[in-house]
Amino acid sequence: QVQLVESGGGLVQAGGSLRLSCAASGSSLSINTMGWYRQAPGKQRELVAGISRGGSTNYADSVKGRFTISRDNAKNTVFLQMNSLKADDTAVYYCNADIRTPWTIRSYDYWGQGTQVTVSS
């Protein structure tokens, strides 16, 4: 069974920083792309940042230059360093990973439970 467990959310003042972590648990996982999405109240879930297994990254325009995504393949973990946070960054942040397990032919999308990030202005 695959689980994505997130940590690091919380309340921070505008201009502050937070670091989110997401660890995938399970046996003999083959993890492709990992990423972070967010969903603010009344809005659709949107991609914040993604990273390939090889380290190629992409970011939403709204977070470029402020957020940095990274991963530790040995620990099946992805991180999101968020700097210069704004009130508009307030949302529930979800970890996502494209994972193939030993008992499946293809890979599937898995999601974390979400972690709340609140930025006070």
For 60-81, what is each residue's pLDDT tens digit?
Answer: 999 999 999 999 999 999 999 9
What average pLDDT does the structure give for the chain?
96
In terms of Cα–Cα distance, which of 112, 65, 121 is closest to 92? 112
Local confidence band at 5 (pLDDT 50, 70, 90 cut-offs): very high
CA separation (Å) from 12 to 16, 52, 53, 73?
6, 29, 30, 29
> Both tokens of residue 80?
């999101």
The rounded distance, in Å, linking the Cα atoms of 62 and 48 is 8
Local confidence band at 107 (pLDDT 50, 70, 90 cut-offs): very high
The rounded distance, in Å, linking the Cα atoms of 27 and 12 is 35
By percentage, how much of the chain surpasses pLDDT 70?
A: 100
